[in-house]
Each structure stands twice: as C-alpha cells, then as structure tokens.
A and B are shown apart, each in its own frame.
Chain A
C-alpha cells in the first residue's frame, strides 16, 4: 500500500527532480572531501555549509507550499515550527558539550550555570539522548500544529484571519523564547556546539555529511509531498483551496483534511529546522521572527506556488540572492525582497517554475506534428 502510494506520486518530472537531488547529495560532498583544494571543481567547506543552509530552507519552503499551494492555507508562521525543530536539535547539541563548556558543568549548559540554576529543568530531560531529541523534533512542532489546527480549523478560521493568528503564534513564541526564565538560553539562544553523535561538528567530514543528509531529507520530503498531492487526498485539498464549501457538501470533513496537511507540513518544517541548526551552529529566538515566516512565503511565491519544485527553486535562488545582496548592499536587501515579491506577483504570478511549465505546455500544444493529442488540461 505504502510503496504503491509513493510510486503513484512519481511522474517523470518528480523522478528527475528526485534523481537530481540525490546526485547533489553525493557529488557536492565528494567534490569537497575528495578533490584537492586547488582543483577547479573543489567545493570549499564554507560553501557546503552555505548550501546546506539553503537546502534546509528549501525543505521549509516545501512545507509552506504543501499547505499554501495545495490547500490555500497561507501560513505566516511556519518559521515557528522550523525554529522549534531547531531548538530540539539545539538542546541535544547543548547537552553534548558536557564539561567542555566555560563553566565545565557536566550536566548544566553554561547559560543555566550563569543564571545560577542548580538543576536541569524537567523539559531538558532526555535531550542527552539523540533518539529522544529526534522524537521531539517531530513531536513538538507536530503537536503544536495539531492543537493549533484543531481549534483554528474546527472554528472555521480561514483566509487573512488565519494568516494573522499564525503570525501571532510565531510572535508569541519569539517573546517567550527571549525570556531567560523560559530555560532556552534567552536572547543568546543555544550555541557553542561541540559534536553531534560523537563527531566533531566543525570537521569537514561532519559538515559534508550534514549537507548530504539535508539534501536527502529534501528529496524524501519532496517525494512524500508529490505522493500526497497526487493522491485522491491531494485532489480533495485542491478542492478545499478552490471551493471549500463544495467539498463540504460532497461530504468531506474539511477541517480533518486541513489538520492532516497542516500537521504533516509542520513536522516537515521542524525537521528542516533540526537540520539547519547543526550547520549554522546556533539557534536563537530571532528564528521565530515573523519576518522569517513571511520570507519563506516569498520563496514559494517566487519559485511557483503549488508546484513543489518551485518551492525548492525559490528558496535556493532567493537565498543566493540574499547572500550576495547582504554582502554587496546590505541595507537594501529588504527593499530588494519587497520589490521582488511585487514583481513576481505582478509579472510572474505563477512563479519561476509555474511560468516555465505554462510556456512548455503552450509550446507542446502548438507543436505542428500531432503525434501527441494536444493536452487540453494545461
């Protein structure tokens, strides 16, 4: 059943994208580790880490596309799930520091010693075990999304109102995580990580592996999202997006469908955050900044909403642009991003991938030799 379901989601395009991602997951680390630094194809480690960060963002974008592109839920708070996954990973990494911290406390992370705490708060228990942290990376964003969605969708909050409360959600978490007494390192967050699963987190090999795992995770998330969106459930989701009441009167319980895709998407965002943190080396409350969530929506809009591939393409291109821009003209980045969003909304409403797709379909339909029947459904 499961394999049939996954295979069903794999059309030619999905296969190509999947294969491409796997190739990147293998070739980039290989070019980093195996080629000598003076080789023209050598990829320096900082570049591997930078790209790893982009792919973590790509996974966040995929999760946004799943709810926004296919179910019409415009989440302006997905950064919250990303950050929660990141914090769960950060807590694991903190506990791996052990006696190597400034205060050399075997149990308490530095910031707790600094705050004069005598013992570990209960919610830090278990985070010295990777399996436990991994479970929390999935459960914490998933549970929050489930509870939030349960109330929001059952009371039929939709459209702008829903977008606003998702902003409020991430903003509330931002304020909470800023507080020192919350026990998550306050303003400074969690940092100074030493190793992950016993491997030095700074080592080239670890960084290359983290990169490979991130791209692999994007590939799996993409395959899963393709399968979900191509299933009958995916068609119901699009039905909800386009004509919610029609779906209800056909007997579908819309809130359950929204809850399903919303929770799945939040888990995806959480895993993305968990992959992001060890590569970046820090997680702090600014990850909850509402602006981050809005940026993720812009990546999807630029790449092409409701195409999945577009989410990946959008996240990577916009972030390459951002890296370049913040280097060259840092104070102009926000204007550039705003301008880009307006440009895309006005001139490329289908985004990069959507526009290419439409162009391609148009070209095929107008091809003179009618070996194929013209595809009416573009």
Chain B
C-alpha cells in the first residue's frame, strides 16, 4: 500500500474516528519499528484506548491506514483474526475470567489452535503445563494457581492479564494502563517485567504514571484530542511548551 510502511511493525497514517460527531481520533499517525517499545501518554479522553481499539479490530476507523508488518490491513479483520496474527492486548480495566482459576486463565490464553473442535478434544500436555508454570512464576502467581481469579487483588489481576498476554506469544503487545491501582512497589516491578518482555517482543504501553514511564526509559508519544502532539524522550516531551500547556492548562 504505502512504501513508508515497509519495514515497520505497526503503521498508522491519517486515521480518523468520529463517535456521534465527536472526533475521538483526528488524523492520527504513528509508526512502530519491529522490536520497539513505546510509551503513550496523554490526558483523559485523548484517544489512547480508542487507538488500541482500532488496532485490535474492536473499532473500525472512518478513514486512514492501519497496517501490521507493513502490509496487513488491520481495518479489514476482526478481533480474533488480529489476535491470531500476533497482536495481544491488555485492557484498561483488568479483564480476566473471574470464575476460572488463575491457572485456567493462563491455559486458555496459551498459544494453541483456537477452533471449537480443537479445544473440545484438547488435552493439556507436559510442554503446556511447563509453560503455564513458567508464566505463573514470571507473574508471581504460582502459589495462587488454584485460586479463582475473582479472588485476586486488583494488582494481581493486572499481572494475571499480562501473563495471559505473554501466554499468547504475540509479536506486538498493547498494554493499557498496566500500573493503575498498583502500589509503588508493584508499579516498579511491572516496569521491570515490561522491559524484560520488550527484549523479545514489541510493546506499546499507555500509562498516566510518569514515574513508571520514566522507569521504562523509552520513546514517548503524547496524544491529545486524537492526534500526536509530541514525540521523543520523556524529558524532551515534558519540556515541550505545547505538552506543558495541555497538562497544566486543564
């Protein structure tokens, strides 16, 4: 489609989305290189979550290009197809399967065939069990494996959802406000975990917590009223007068 998209992992160009006359996304362009981790900040209602909705197929944009790996047009695919292409997503409000055990939550997310017949006759093998254990260890939920997910604290649910995201083995992770509702210590640990993940996968993180964004130490994109206001290091964007005005002028 566009030559500029070549060699990119995620390519958004001129994307617009209007809800009942309200412009939630306004001529948004954003490019993510393979292996990159990007932090997205912006005031409430800036369109951060809507952007993720568009990438993952939940919301169809009115106009604009949304390409994965330079050529796959994501606007034509549904959520399940996009997920199976290798784009995983953590919701802003932690969303896990509350009436399943922690372990089953991970098991359902594990990369495997997704059709009804495949799951109907599925048996959990040794390799899968090992992978589940590994992910439970990574997310520090190993001793809660038989708990119903409903019993986890808010922060633990966030971690479980990150664990589910990892279980999918996606190439691109979209993480919406992973530190919301966490203690400072948990927030710091989450930053470490995400940096660890970013060594092998591409990650887009939306977060309001500036300490957390600083911990990540990656390129920052500032969204405002549905488009990119500034892009660069955290120090650079936070001294940008336009950004200062958006954050302080409110």
Give residues in A with beta carbon < 8 Å to B: 1, 4-5, 8, 228, 231-233, 235-236, 238-239, 242-243, 245-246, 248-254, 256-257, 260, 375-378
Enumerate chain B residues within 8 angstroms of A228, measured Cβ to Cβ: 120
**Additional 5 contacts, C-beta under 8 A, given A260-B120, A376-B151, A378-B148:** A232-B107, A251-B83, A251-B168, A252-B114, A253-B78
Q: Establish whether residues A231 and B114, one from each chain, have CB atoms under 8 Å apart when the complex forms.
A: no
Q: Establish whether residues B148 and A233, one from each chain, have CB atoms under 8 Å apart when the complex forms.
A: no
**Min CB distance, A315 to chain B, in Å?**
24
Say which residue of A231, A232, A233, A249 sits within 8 Å of B79 (CB atoms): A249
Q: Which of B88, B104, B120 has the most CB of A within 10 A?
A: B120
- Roughly how many angstroms separate A253 CA and B117 CA in the complex, as a whole number? 12
Q: Establish whether residues A246 and B120, one from each chain, have CB atoms under 8 Å apart when the complex forms.
A: no
- Roughly how many angstroms separate A376 CA and B143 CA in the complex, as a whole number? 11
**Min CB distance, A150 to chain B, in Å?**
14
Q: Is B195 an interface residue (CB 8 A)?
A: no
Q: Mark B32-64, 1 if CB is under 8 A from A, else 0.
A: 000000000000000000000000101000000
Given the interface pairs A243-B97, A246-B96, the reply to whether A235 lies near B108 with Cβ below 8 Å is yes
Q: Establish whether residues B148 and A249, one from each chain, have CB atoms under 8 Å apart when the complex forms.
A: no
Q: Establish whether residues B83 and A248, one from each chain, have CB atoms under 8 Å apart when the complex forms.
A: yes
Q: Establish whether residues A250 and B116, one from each chain, have CB atoms under 8 Å apart when the complex forms.
A: no
Say which residue of A239, A250, A251 sits within 8 Å of B100 (CB atoms): A239
Complex: chain B residue closest to A8, CB-CB = B123
- Roughly how many angstroms separate A236 CA and B116 CA in the complex, as a whole number? 9
Q: Mark B87-99, 1 if CB is under 8 A from A, else 0.
A: 0110100011111
- Roughly how many angstroms separate A375 CA and B147 CA in the complex, as a whole number? 9
- Roughly how many angstroms separate A260 CA and B115 CA in the complex, as a whole number? 11
Q: Establish whether residues B146 and A249, one from each chain, have CB atoms under 8 Å apart when the complex forms.
A: no
The secondary-structure label for the interface of chain A is: helix
- Roughly how many angstroms separate A228 CA and B57 CA in the complex, as a whole number? 30
Given the interface pairs A232-B108, A256-B115, the reply to whether A242 lies near B99 with Cβ below 8 Å is yes
Q: Is B22 an interface residue (CB 8 A)?
A: no
Q: Is B80 an interface residue (CB 8 A)?
A: yes
Enumerate chain A residues within 8 angstroms of B168, measured Cβ to Cβ: 250-251
Enumerate chain A residues within 8 angstroms of B98, measured Cβ to Cβ: 242-243
Give residues in B with beta carbon < 8 Å to A: 56, 58, 78-80, 83-84, 88-89, 91, 95-101, 104, 107-109, 114-116, 119-124, 144, 146-148, 151, 164, 168
Given the interface pairs A250-B108, A251-B80, A252-B80, the reply to whether A233 lies near B95 with Cβ below 8 Å is no
Say which residue of B58, B123, B147, B164 sits within 8 Å of A250 (CB atoms): B164
Enumerate chain B residues within 8 angstroms of A376, measured Cβ to Cβ: 144, 146-148, 151
Q: Establish whether residues A250 and B109, one from each chain, have CB atoms under 8 Å apart when the complex forms.
A: yes
Say which residue of B56, B122, B146 sits within 8 Å of A232 (CB atoms): B122
Enumerate chain A residues within 8 angstroms of B123, measured Cβ to Cβ: 4, 8
Q: Establish whether residues B148 and A251, one from each chain, have CB atoms under 8 Å apart when the complex forms.
A: no
Given the interface pairs A232-B107, A235-B108, A376-B148, the reply to whether A243 lies near B95 with Cβ below 8 Å is yes
- For the complex of A and B, 4 pairs with smallest distance between CB atoms: A251-B83, A248-B79, A232-B122, A233-B119
Complex: chain A residue closest to B83, CB-CB = A251
Given the interface pairs A239-B108, A376-B148, the reply to whether A253 lies near B119 with Cβ below 8 Å is no
Enumerate chain B residues within 8 angstroms of A236, measured Cβ to Cβ: 108, 116, 119
- Roughly how many angstroms separate A268 CA and B163 CA in the complex, as a whole number? 38
- Roughly how many angstroms separate A4 CA and B91 CA in the complex, as a whole number? 36
Enumerate chain B residues within 8 angstroms of A242, measured Cβ to Cβ: 97-100
- Roughly how many angstroms separate A245 CA and B91 CA in the complex, as a whole number? 10
A-B contact pairs, 24 of them (CB 8 A): A5-B120, A232-B108, A233-B116, A233-B120, A236-B108, A238-B100, A239-B100, A242-B100, A243-B95, A243-B98, A245-B79, A245-B95, A248-B79, A248-B80, A249-B79, A249-B88, A251-B84, A251-B114, A251-B168, A253-B78, A256-B116, A260-B116, A377-B146, A377-B147
